[in-house]
Amino acid sequence: MALLEVENITKRFGGLVAVRDLSLTVDKGEIVALIGPNGAGKTTAFNVIAGYYKADAGKVVYDGVDITRLHPHQICNLGLVRTFQVVRPFRGINVLDNVMVGAFARTNNNKVAQAKAEEVLDFLGMGEEVKRMASGLPIASRKRLEIARALATEPKAILLDETMAGLRPIETDEVIAMVRKMSQSGIAILLVEHVMKVVMSLADRVLVLHHGEKIAEGTPNEVVQDPQVIDAYLGETNVAN
């Protein structure tokens, strides 16, 4: 059984079906990418998996536990954490305190949490910025902070929501390296992405969503050559890039 199993989830908003009958799995150390044109339902799917939206049908099983009806904080405490597409740092406090909030998911002890936070920040190359106020960070650092906070909760699975949006190529490379490191340490990663370079270089498997339904699944190379996928993207991202 895979670490994260999403079974036939459906989510409606009024008359609109945002996600229909979606199933996917992500296993330890795997990187699975969820792609699709704008409005395909990727972030909605994320929100359902992470507990922000209630699924209208289907279930989400994580580590053997049915988490479909759980609250986001309960899901996080079980080891499944998410980041946000538009990063949400705790602006009024510094970087270290931000990450400590995540670290406190696993401990009640101040010193332990602080040590963990420092360790994670070092891992992500932010060791020098621990005392900076989160509000003063440039976008690339804020993205890193977002990941750092999530990592500090010692997750076994992470949902990364369009982490690369708005980054320069060199910053994208850095984040790619970080994600690879995380995956190598055994964390299961499900990411939503628009930037195809990231998908091609990172993903073990790719799922393509279109109008809320899965239209293709396979390795990056397989998916990229799938005529249905090309069709769906026509006029959107340049798939061959």
Among 217, 205, 150, which Cα is nearest to 178's?
Answer: 150
C-alpha–C-alpha distance, residues 56 and 156, integer Å? 26
Nearer to another protein, 188 or 232 (CB): 188
Nearer to another protein, 14 or 235 (CB): 14
- Backbone phi, then psi, for 239, in 5-degree steps? -65, -35
Task: Provide CB contacts within 8 A for 65, sequence distance 6+.
Answer: 78
Question: Which residue of 8, 39, 69, 91 would you call a contact of another protein, by CB under 8 A?
Answer: 91
Least distance to another protein, CB of residue 68, Å: 17
Least distance to another protein, CB of residue 7, Å: 23
Piece of 32-40, 85-93, 165-173, 211-219 that binds another protein (CB under 8 A): 85-93
Cα–chain center distance at 98 = 18
The CB density around residue 136, as the number of other CB atoms within 10 Å, is 12
Residue 101 binds to another protein (criterion: CB under 8 A): yes
According to DSSP, residue 84 is labeled: -
Please count the residues of the chain: 241
Binding mask 131-170 for another protein (x = CB under 8 A): x-----------------xx--x-----------------
Nearer to another protein, 131 or 235 (CB): 131
C-alpha–C-alpha distance, residues 2 and 218, integer Å? 16
How many chain residues touch another protein (CB under 8 A)? 38
Residue 77 binds to another protein (criterion: CB under 8 A): yes
